[in-house]
Structure 1
């Protein structure tokens, strides 16, 4: 089954937004009140990138993208 471009775009948007939420939560969990915000942002960015990559690889393996 080969989904249309619009369906693939929607699936990518869902993966992107899910990864943003995971990155925000990870950044909030890793941040300490007395520490600067920079390391929290970097950690959240890394988790976002890893989550998006994992999601897209899993969907590609399943043949959805």
Structure 2
């Protein structure tokens, strides 16, 4: 596809926001009472990175980016 630069930036922002939501849910689900919060934050960060890379890989495979 031949998309304009603004649309490509919008798609990357949407992927970033979606990854942030996934990271918050993953961090919330991984947190257990009595454990340090830093473990949940680290788990959420890993989920964010993995989800963002997966989203961008799919967009690149579809030749959108």
Counterpart of 2:49?
49
Please state if 1:14 is matched with 2:14. yes
Post-superposition, which runs of at least 4 consecutive aligned residues in structure 1 deviate over 3 A? none
RMSD of the alignment, in Å? 0.5
- TM-score normalised according to structure 1 size: 0.97
Q: Deviations over 1:1-23 (max 9, x none)?
A: 21000000000000000000000
Unmatched segments (≥5 aa) in structure 2: none
Cα distance, 1:39 vs. partner?
Answer: 0.6
SS at the partner of 1:24?
helix
- In structure 2, how many angstroms separate the alpha carbons of the residues matched to 1:29 and 1:8? 32
Count how many residue pairs are aligned between Structure 1 and Structure 2. 65
Unmatched segments (≥5 aa) in structure 1: none
- In structure 2, how many angstroms separate the alpha carbons of the residues matched to 1:33 and 1:16? 29
- TM-score normalised according to structure 2 size: 0.97
